[in-house]
Amino acid sequence: MLRLSKRVEYGLIAVRHIAALHVGTVVTAKEISDRYHIPFDLLAKILQRLSKSGLVIAQHGVKGGYSLSKSPDQIPLSLIVNAIEGRQVVAVCISEKNEDCRISETCTIKSSLFKIQNNVDQIFSTMLLSEIV
């Protein structure tokens, strides 16, 4: 409960590493995987998601690799987290669409959980990648 997934941890480590590079240089998934002892296949998928979201830029082929798409001080951690895991909510009734909580009708704590959700969102949207490099 309330635990970050390994995906997000690995993603943060990877993005932080990429952010610490000199601009213009790329780094390969293999290099990051080796450096931090992260399972290669898993890390690869994470980087693919980050690439798909546009947060990092992927360079195919030999001499390829990843680089950052914008300045680290323009990237709140929420962007990274959302790219990897999608929007995360503290309770199922908070996602826009889904209302599949059995006791939703009689629930008395929805508004409180909304507050908690906002505070959690705040944490990730105010911390910038530039703060953690």
2 binds its own copies, rule: CB under 8 A:
yes
Instruction: Give 59 or 130: the residue with its C-beta nearer to its own copies.
Output: 130
Task: Judge contact between 29 and 47, C-beta under 8 A.
Answer: yes
φ and ψ of 28, to 5 deg: -90, 155
Binding test (CB under 8 A) with its own copies, winner from 21, 26, 57, 127: 127
Contacts of 39 (CB under 8 A, 6+ apart): 33
Binding test (CB under 8 A) with its own copies, winner from 76, 85, 96, 125: 85
Residue 59, classed as helix, strand or coil, is strand
Buried b (16+ CB within 10 A) or exposed e, 25-41: ebbebeebbeeeebeee
Residues 67-96 that bind ligand SF4 (CB under 6 A): 91-93
22 binds its own copies, rule: CB under 8 A:
no
User: Which residues bind to its own copies, rule: CB under 8 A?
Assistant: 1-5, 8-9, 12-13, 16-17, 35-38, 85, 88-92, 102-103, 106-109, 111-113, 115-116, 119-120, 123-124, 127, 131-132
